[in-house]
Structure formats: structure tokens, C-alpha cells
Structure 1
Amino acid sequence: MADDDPGAGGADPEAAARVETGRVLFAQPCAFLKGVADLSGLPASDLPEIAFCGRSNVGKSSLVNALTGRKTLARTSNTPGRTQEINLFYLGPEGTPRLMLADLPGHGFARAPKAKVDAWTRLVNAYLKGRPPLRRVLLLVDSRHGLKAVDRTVMGMLDGAAVNYQVVLTKADKPASAAVQRVHEATRAALAEHVAAHPDVLVTSSETGAGLPDLRAALGEIALPA
């Protein structure tokens, strides 16, 4: 469903209200706070925090940009491994933000020295297991490929740490719709075995805006009230 489709949320008035709340939230200012290369650099915060996690080049930065309606808020690249720090963003009015967004370095293959990849993988894992304000991890999965071994490893780690996570399929404009549907169904079935997983698997495209209203609605329920 396109991002500007007035039918987002369906005919259900309650669902439509959630979509509108999410739209208003992500229409507010969003500003880069800092990049963090070590856990000691993470700021103390009482804000609910949402982390964007997934394999290298799965579309984390593109999704942050698309959700906030900005093209260059988070740096994107076709080269796996471009994001090498935890990049933090405030969402909401200056002085009274409502949500913190964390764009994480990717798991798995990246065009960077192995030692560097190992270092940022340890950083991401430590962040995911030990960040008190973290309310939800969005585990991004390429809709062309579905869950890979590295995704399942992260899911197992999050289950063990009792960290709530939700799978978001990305790049849904790339494969045929039937193929996306098959990946969606297989992903939902796989999540039934994971105790910390949110049951809803969202299908998105940062290019077309499909699925973004529903994702904004889900995150709107986590944000501090206006």
C-alpha cells in the first residue's frame, strides 16, 4: 500500500486512528544526535528507544529516512557496511522529543576489514542486550531472501535477553508480490517459535512507501504522549 494511500489502516476506525497518530508523530522534527562507536558514548535517556537492526545493506538507513520523510537524515549507501556506528536521532519537538531512533551497523558481510566488522558486531550485540531504554528492535529482513542464518542468530540472542523485536520485511517493491507473500508467510511461521518476537510481520518499501503507515502506527504506540 502506498504511503499516501488514505485507506492505510483499513476501514476499522481504531486502526485508522493509530495510523493517523503515527503519521503525526513522524511528521515532527527529527534530528541527528550523535554517532556512538563504544557503549560508553551512549547518552543516558528516559526516552523510549527503537533500534533498526539487520544484515548489512538490508535498508536500515533508507527506512529511517523514509519513515521521517527525509532523504539524507541517515546516510545510505549501496556498499554493505557504510554504517559503522550506532547513529542516534531524536524524534519530536526540540526540547521535548518523544522517541529515540537508533540506526545500527549491519550484521554479516560488509566491505570492511574483518577486525572492524567484528568490533561493530560486538558493539551491536552488547547494545541490543543491555540498553535499558530500548523498547523495541526492528529486525529488518530483505523480502527477496527471507530469514538468513545471521537473522536467526540475532533472534535467538534477543529471545535470550528478553528484548522485544519485530520483523520488518524491506525492499518489497523488488520481487513479485507472490514471492513477497511467500516470504511473509514463512517468516510468520518461523516467528511462532521465538518468545520475544512480535507476532505481526510488516512488509515495507522505502521506495514506494508501502507499509510505512502501519509501521509508523506501531511505533506511535511506543512513543511518549504528546
Structure 2
Amino acid sequence: MSPAVPTPSAAEKQALAWTHTARFLTTASQLDQLPVNELPEIAFVGRSNAGKSTAINMLAQQKRLAFASKTPGRTQHINLFEVGPKDAPDALFADLPGYGYAAVERSAKLRWQQVMADYLEVRRSLSGVVVMIDSRLGFTELDKQLLAFVAPRVGTGEVKLLVLLTKADKLNRKEADAALRAATEVLGQLATDDADVGITLFSALSKKGVGDAAQTLYQWAHPLSPA
């Protein structure tokens, strides 16, 4: 018999109803092509095969909002999505290109590494970063390099950070605990009094962590709302 699925709390239902409103706004290949806005912007980043597009689609309850190509490394644009009421959006999701796929041409890799670094370091409206880490692999050197780009802003509290340990359905309890410990150790370097850093086991298949992630993002965009 399958274990009973816990009933979502009111806060979780509210957060999921909010993430479900995500809709495409625009796409850009350079930072100067992105619109200037005053809305909090939440960026999703991760290796090409870490499940980033699948996670975005699960949070939005839309199968193809973020295009999940069968060929990793294909997406080479920043895609923006509005979230919230259609007549008054209150946040943006930014889907950044996956990184680290070996088949991508070196010149394209270098260009996108620079675009992503610039985005994470200087994008004024950036208020949160969601990093997708394959729970079976943990943080690779490329993942750690990405953390280094955003670490100064996370340390001051300017930008919040959530790590989703994806594909958690493939881990048993012992492996999941080990993945959490390893991720916590890596993120220890970001620990300051001002830093807002979280870690959640996540599975689009079993829906583990989806509600928790949605609540975190909702609170980022609505900091004055009750938890």
C-alpha cells in the first residue's frame, strides 16, 4: 500500500496557487535585452541535466512552460515569466540556461558563463536564486563556481538562496540524509547573520518538496505575508 499523501496546509495551497500563475513574458540572450523592472526576480539555475526545467514546470503545473529539451545545453537564453495576478504581477521567475554540458561549443559556453556571472552579480532586481543540484551527485566544481558568483550578495542578505536537491525519489532515506549533510557543508561557507539560505529535497516525480519550495518562493515575493 502506498503511503498516505499528507493534506497540504493552507499556506502551501496559497503558495502553489501563486506559482501556478506563472506565464511567459520574454526571452533575452544578453542582459541589456532584459526589461528593467521593480518586481522581485527569482532565478533558477543548474547543470543542464539537474532537472531545472522539470522543476519549474512542476511548480507552475504546466508541462511546457520551461522547455525541457531532450538535448541538454540547447537553451541559450534567459527566459522571464510573470507570476501573480495577470493585471498586477508581483514577481518574475528567470529561467537561466543550464550549464556544464560537454557537447556545447566552447565559445558558447564561455559567453554564457559570462552572461550568467554578470546576471548573478549585478542584476538589480534579482532577489532570490534557486540552485538545482542532482541529489545523487551533489555539488560539482561548476556548481561551486556558480555559488561563488552569487555568494557576496547572499552574504549581505541582498539575495536569498534555495538549493533544491533534485531527483530525490531515486534516494533511500540514508542516501537522502547524506545528500542533505553534504549540501549543508558546502553552503556553510555562505553562513552569515544576514544570509537567507535553505535546502530542500525535491522530486518532480513524487512531488516531494514541491509545496515547501513553493512556500519559500512565495515568502520571498511576499515578505510581509504571514507564514
The normalised TM-score by structure 1 is 0.87
Contact 2:132 2:165 in 1 (8 A): yes
Shift of 1:30: 2.0
Aligned to 2:33: 41
Shift of 1:122: 1.0
Deviating 4+ runs (over 3 angstroms): 4-8, 195-199
Query: Partner of 1:155: helix, strand, or coil?
Result: helix
Query: Partner of 1:108: helix, strand, or coil?
Result: coil
Determine whether 1:51 maps to 2:43: yes
**What is the CA–CA distance in structure 2 between the aligned matches of 1:203 and 1:146, rounded to whole Å?**
12
Contact 1:55 1:107 in 2 (8 A): yes
Shift of 1:174: 2.2
**What is the CA–CA distance in structure 2 between the aligned matches of 1:110 and 1:30, rounded to whole Å?**
31
**Runs of at least 5 residues in structure 1 that lack an aligned partner in the other structure:** 9-15
**Runs of at least 5 residues in structure 2 that lack an aligned partner in the other structure:** none
Query: Partner of 2:54: helix, strand, or coil?
Result: helix
**What is the CA–CA distance in structure 2 between the aligned matches of 1:84 and 1:185, rounded to whole Å?**
33
Aligned to 1:13: none
**What is the CA–CA distance in structure 2 between the aligned matches of 1:144 and 1:222, rounded to whole Å?**
28
Shift of 1:116: 0.9
The normalised TM-score by structure 2 is 0.87
Contact 2:161 2:198 in 1 (8 A): no
Say if 1:217 and 1:129 are closer, same or farther in 2 by CA, change over 3 A: same
Aligned to 2:160: 164
Shift of 1:80: 1.9
Query: Partner of 2:214: helix, strand, or coil?
Result: helix
How many residues align structurally?
A: 216
- Tell me: higher relative CO, structure 1 or 2? Use CA pairs within 8 A at least 6 residues apart: 1
Query: For 1:193, which of 189, 192, 212 is the aligned residue?
Result: 189
Aligned partner of 1:184: which letter? L
Aligned to 1:218: 216
Contact 1:192 1:199 in 2 (8 A): no
